[in-house]
Amino acid sequence: MVSLLVGTRKGAFVYRGDTARKTWQVDGPHFLGSIVNHLVLDPRDGRTLLLAAKTGHLGPTVFRSTDGGKNWAEAKTPPAFKTVPSGEKGRAVDSVFWLTAGHVSEPDVWYAGTAPVGLFRSADGGATWAEVEGFNDRLYERIKDSVVNVPDGSLVHSILVHPEDPRRVYIGLSTGGVFESTDGGESWVPLNKGIEASFLPDGNAEFGHDPHLLAMHPLDPERLYQQNHCGIYRLDRPSVEWRRIGAHMPKEIGDIGFPVVLHPRDRECLWVFPMDGTDVWPRVSPGGRPAAYRSRDGGASWERQDRGMPERQAWWTVKRQAFCADARDPVGLYFGTTSGEIWSSTDEGASWSQISAHLPEIYSVVAAEV
C-alpha cells in the first residue's frame, strides 16, 4: 500500500491509501507542535522511519521508529557541530532539514543535511550522528563567504547517493550550489557550470548558486535534474555543464519553483510545480492558478496539468520536499501545499483531487510503500 509521510510546521501525519489510492486513512498528528522538516522511510528495510524535528523553543533532533510510528526513540547524539574553545565562534545546528538513507550496501548509514549548512552521517541507523568533516570543515572553509549572511537561506538538501557507488554523493546547498564527492564525502567538487545566478556579482562563479532541489533518476543515475532559484536544469554525466530546460516553459509561467519529481521508469519524464518568481518574489502559484507542468521529453517541451485544481484565487505553492511520486503504474503523484492541503493524481497528473485540507503548512510529502 502507498503511504504518504507528511511533515508540517506543527507535526507529522501519515496517510495510508487503499489499493486504488482513492481513500486515505490519517494517522496523526505525531509530535504535535513540532516543526517536522522531513519524515522518511528507510527503503532498505521498508520499516524504519526517521523524522527531523525541532520546536519553536527546543533545539533540533532526530527521532526513529521501527514500528510504523507507534513508538519513537530520540537520537542519543543528534547532529551537532563540534564544540569550539570558549571565546571562539562556533556553529550550531538550527534545523535538521533533510534525511537520506545511505547506500543499500550500508544498511545502517544515514545522512542528514542541516541549516546552517552542515552534513552529518550516522552509521548506526540514526542513533548517533557525526560530522562529515570533509564537508563541514574543508568544503565549508572554502565556500563559507558564499553561504553566510543569508537570512533563512543556507541549508543542505538533496543528498543523493549514487546507487552504483556508495562513495559517490551529490548534494545541494541553498545559496551554495551543487557539489559532488566521489570519495564518500572526504572531498567535494562544485558542479554548477551553466547555472544562472542572477543574485551573484560574478555570473561565472564556481559556487554560490541556489539549487532548490536536485533529483537523480533511479534507473539512470547519470541523468540529473535540478529546480534552481534561477530555472529548471538538466545534466547528463559525465558532462559538467547544466542545460536550462526551463527555457521551454511558457513565458507567462516561467521556470521558477521548488520541487522537481521524476517518473520512476522513464528518465525523460518529470514534473515541476512553478511559483511566481517575478518582481518581489511572491512565491505563490502564478496568477493564483496552481498547476503542475510535465515534460515527457527531458525538458524539450512542457504541458500544463491542472485539471481538478482550483481555477482561481489559490495563492499557495509547494515546497521543495512536498511533491513526490510513487512507483505504481500509472504513477501516483502527491503534493502538499503551504496552505495545508494534500493533493493527488493517480493518472500521472492528468487529473487531481484533494486528499486532505486544513493541515498546518506542509514542508514535506514522501510516498512510501509500507
Partner 1 sequence: MRVVLPSPLFSYSGGQREIEATSETLAQLMGVLDGRFPGMRHRIVDEQNRIRPHIRFFVNGDSATTLDHRLSADDEVLIVAALSGG
76 binding partner 1? (CB under 8 A): yes
57 binding partner 1? (CB under 8 A): yes
- Letter for the amino acid at 55? T
* CB 52, CB 98: distance < 8 Å: yes
Among 19, 20, 70, 83, binds partner 1 (CB under 8 A): 83
For residue 118, the minimal CB distance to partner 1 (Å) is 11
Among 28, 66, 81, 304, binds partner 1 (CB under 8 A): 81
59 binding partner 1? (CB under 8 A): yes
* CB 5, CB 24: distance < 8 Å: no
Give the total of residues touching partner 1 (CB under 8 A): 19
**Residue pointed to by grid coordinates 551529490:** 170
357 binding partner 1? (CB under 8 A): no
Q: What is each CA distance from 369 to 40, 44, 239, in whole angstroms? A: 11, 11, 34
Among 1, 92, 104, 300, binds partner 1 (CB under 8 A): 92
70 binding partner 1? (CB under 8 A): no
Separation between Cα atoms, residue 361 and residue 152, nearest integer Å:
17
127 binding partner 1? (CB under 8 A): no
Among 1, 32, 58, 300, binds partner 1 (CB under 8 A): 58
For residue 35, the minimal CB distance to partner 1 (Å) is 10
Task: Give the closest residue to 226 by CA, choosing from 280, 285, 157.
Answer: 157
For residue 154, the minimal CB distance to partner 1 (Å) is 17
**Residue pointed to by grid coordinates 493524481:** 345
124 binding partner 1? (CB under 8 A): no
Nearby residues of 218 by Cβ (< 8 Å), 6 or more positions away: 163, 262, 264
Bridge partner residues of 157 (DSSP): 172
Among 11, 78, 290, 340, binds partner 1 (CB under 8 A): 78
28 binding partner 1? (CB under 8 A): no
Bridge partner residues of 24 (DSSP): 17
For residue 88, the minimal CB distance to partner 1 (Å) is 9
Among 16, 44, 91, 283, binds partner 1 (CB under 8 A): 91
For residue 92, the minimal CB distance to partner 1 (Å) is 4
Our CA angle for 261, 165, 193, nearest 5°, is: 55
Nearby residues of 30 by Cβ (< 8 Å), 6 or more positions away: 11, 12, 13, 14, 51, 69, 72
Helices (H) and strands (E) in the chain, counts: 2, 27
Among 14, 39, 41, 93, binds partner 1 (CB under 8 A): 93
Helix (H) or strand (E) holding 274: strand 270-274
For residue 56, the minimal CB distance to partner 1 (Å) is 3
Among 6, 41, 50, 80, binds partner 1 (CB under 8 A): 80
Q: What is each CA distance from 4 to 157, 165, 288, in whole angstroms? A: 20, 28, 26
55 binding partner 1? (CB under 8 A): yes
Q: List contacts with partner 1 (CB under 8 A).
A: 55-59, 61, 74, 76, 78, 80-84, 86, 90-93
